[in-house]
Amino acid sequence: MSVFMDLNLSYTTDKNRLQSVIETAAHLGFSTVAINYGFEPTAKKKQEIPTPKPINELIDQLPIVQGRSRPIRVLNRLTVVMSDSSHFRPNAAEYRSFDLLAVQPTTEKLFHSACMLLDIDIICISVTEKLPFFFKRAPVNGAVDRGVVFELCYSAAIRDSTMRRYTIANALSLMESCKGKNVILSSAAEKALELRGPYDITNLGLLFGLSDAEAKEAISSTCRSVLLHAETRKTASGIIYTTKTCSDSTCQQEAPARSELCEAPAAKRPHLAE
Amino acid sequence: MRGDDKKDKSAGYQRVVLKNASPYHYMKVCLVLEDESTKLSAVELKQFIITGLKTLYGEVGAALNFDLLKYDEDTRTAFLRVCSRGLVKLWSSLTLLGFYQNQACAFRVLQVSPFLLALTGNSRELQLD
C-alpha cells in the first residue's frame, strides 16, 4: 500500500508556524508533504514568481513520521492562479525549482486548456466560491488520460460553513464528470489545527462523493502518481525506477530488475505487482 | 470453504454468511484546543459534538444516537459509542469541527473499532524492544 501524502501546506513566512504544521503532519502519519507557494499574476504590474525556500532552511530536523520510523519528505509546489492564458508561461525557468506545478483556472476556457494542453501536474478546484463554470466531460477525460489530477482542499470547509457548502457542492459536481478518478484531497492548511488525519480525510471523501477505495486512493496512490508525473515533466521522456530484488539464497547479480516504466502518462502506466 | 469441494464432492456446499453485523462502533477521540488551559466538562463536550452534527446534517443529524462512554478531562480524551450506520456522519462532523468558542480546535480520532476491547491498546504505540 502506498503511503499517505498531503500535497498542499500553505507557505507562511512565519517559520515557527510552518514547522509546527510539518510536525503535526508527520505526527498524523503523512509521509510526504508539499509546501505550496501561491502566485496570482495580475494584469497591471509584473510580479515575481516566488522562489522556494530550501527545506533545510525552513526546518532544521525533519520530524519522524508516526509509525514509519523515517523522516518526513518535504517538497515544494507552485500554484498559479490563472485568469488569463498568458499567466502561465510554459518553459519558464522559475518553474523548474519547484517539484510540483499546479494551476487554478478561473474560466471554462482556461480550465479546458489546463486539462488538455498545459504541462502541469495538478489542477486546483476552487472551493471558496460557487463554481463559475461547469466541468465538461471532454476536458476532464483528457486530463485523466494525461495523468493530470484534480485537487480538492478541505481546510476551507473547516474554517467556515459557507465555504463548506461550496466545497461539498463543487466536489460533487467534479465527481459527476470524473467519477472519482484522478482526484487528490489535500489540506491547504495554514495552521496545525486545520490538518486532519489520513483516515479522517478518507471518511470526509465519502461526503465528497468518493467511494471508500477512491477516497483512500485520493490521499495515497494518486498522490504518488502525481509525484511520478512531476518527475517525468522534468525529463525528456520518462523515468524508470529499478529496485533490486534479492532472490532467495542465490543473489543473482543480473536478475532482471523490476522496473516501472512511465513513458505513458501516469494514469496509463502498467502497474506491476510488487 | 472453497477447498472443501475438491476433497469431497458429495459433501456439497455449505454456505456460511458472516454478516459482520456489529451494532455499534466505538471511537477514541482526543480534542486538541488552541488554548490548552480551557476546561471542558463531559456535558459540554457532548453538547459541542451535537452542535457539530447539527451544523453539518441539520436536525436529523442531531437526532443521531451516540453516547459518551468515558471522558478524561485532563487529556480531553473521550470514548464514543455510535450505531454503525451513524459512524460516517459522526466522524465527518467531528472532522469538520474547527472552532470551539471562537478558538481553533481539532478532533484527533485516535482509534475506531467495532469492538470496545480493541480500544484498550494501540498497536501503533507498541514499543518493540
Instruction: Compute the nearest-CA separation of A65 from chain B (Å).
Output: 12
Q: How many CB pairs under 8 A join A and B?
A: 45
C-alpha cell at B30: 482526543
Q: Looking at the domain assignment, is residue B83 inside a domain?
A: yes
Residue A135 pLDDT: 82
Average pLDDT, chain A: 80
Residue A44 pLDDT: 64
Q: Looking at the domain assignment, is residue B125 inside a domain?
A: no
Contact A195 B106 (CB under 8 A): yes
Burial class of residue A256 (count of CB atoms within 10 Å of its CB; 0-12, 13-18, 19+): exposed
Option in A158, A164, A199 nearest B109 (CB): A199
Contact A67 B104 (CB under 8 A): no
Q: What is the pLDDT of residues A59-87, one digit of tens each?
A: 777 887 777 778 888 888 888 888 777 77
In chain A, residues with a C-beta closer than 8 Å to the C-beta of B91 are 200, 203
Q: Which positions ≥6 away from B93 have C-beta within 8 Å?
A: B49, B52, B53, B55, B56, B57, B61
Quote the crossing angle between the two packed helices B87-95 and B42-62, to the nearest 10°.
120
In chain B, residues with a C-beta closer than 8 Å to the C-beta of A66 are 124
B127: nearest CA partner in chain A: A67
Q: Looking at the domain assignment, is residue B96 inside a domain?
A: yes
Domains and CATH numbers, chain A: 4-236 (3.20.20.140), 242-274 (no CATH)
C-alpha cell at A62: 525533519
Contact B95 A204 (CB under 8 A): yes
Q: Which positions ≥6 away from A188 have C-beta within 8 Å?
A: A8, A9, A10, A36, A153, A154, A155, A156
Average pLDDT, chain B: 83
ipTM surpasses 0.85 = no
Kindly tell me if the per-residue pLDDT of A211 is higher than 50: yes
Q: Looking at the domain assignment, is residue B2 inside a domain?
A: no
Question: Which residues of chain A are at the B interface, by a Cβ-Cβ cutoff of 8 Å?
Answer: 28, 66-67, 157-159, 161, 164, 191, 193-197, 199-201, 203-204, 206-207
Q: b/e per residue, A93-110, with b = 16+ CB within 10 A?
A: eebeebbbbbbbbbeeeb
pTM above 0.90, yes or no: no
Q: What's the alpha-carbon Rg for chain A, to the nearest Å?
A: 19
Q: Which positions ≥6 away from B69 have C-beta within 8 Å?
A: B26, B78, B79, B80, B81, B116
Kindly tell me if the per-residue pLDDT of B128 is higher than 70: no
Please report, for residues A83, A239, B74, the alpha-carbon distance to residue A35 in angstroms, rounded to integers and kept in the order given.
Answer: 23, 24, 34
Option in B56, B95, B104 nearest A200 (CB): B95
Instruction: Compute the nearest-CA separation of B102 from chain A (Å).
Output: 11
Which of A24-28, A236-240, B25-29, B38-42 has the lowest average pLDDT?
A236-240
Contact A159 B92 (CB under 8 A): no
The torsion angle over the Cα atoms of residues A172, A128, A146 and A75, rounded to 10 degrees, is -120
Count the Cβ atoms, other than its own, within 10 Å of residue B57: 17
The domain tally of chain B equals 1
Kindly tell me if the per-residue pLDDT of A169 is higher than 60: yes
Q: Looking at the domain assignment, is residue B129 inside a domain?
A: no
Q: How many CA atoms lie within 13 A of B44 on its CB side?
A: 10
Contact A207 B92 (CB under 8 A): yes
- In angstroms, the CA B111 to CA B118 distance is 9
Q: What is the pLDDT of residues B61-114, one digit of tens each?
A: 888 888 999 898 888 899 999 998 889 899 999 998 888 888 888 898 988 988
Residue A250 pLDDT: 47
Option in A193, A203, A207 nearest B106 (CB): A193
C-alpha cell at B5: 469441494
Write phi, then psi, for B91 (nearest 5 degrees). -65, -45
Average pLDDT over residues A122-135: 84
Q: Looking at the domain assignment, is residue B3 inside a domain?
A: no
A161: nearest CA partner in chain B: B55
Instruction: Compute the nearest-CA separation of B70 from chain A (Å).
Output: 21
Count the Cβ atoms, other than its own, within 10 Å of residue A29: 18
Average pLDDT over residues A115-138: 84
- In angstroms, the CA A30 to CA A71 distance is 10
Structural domain including B55 reads: 24-120
Q: CB of A169 within 8 A of CB of A208?
A: no
Q: Looking at the domain assignment, is residue B87 inside a domain?
A: yes
Contact B98 A194 (CB under 8 A): yes
Q: Looking at the domain assignment, is residue B57 inside a domain?
A: yes
**CATH number, domain at B96?**
3.30.70.3250
Q: What is the pLDDT of residues B9-66, one digit of tens each?
A: 566 888 877 676 788 899 999 988 888 888 888 898 999 999 989 988 888 888 888 8
Contact A199 B112 (CB under 8 A): yes
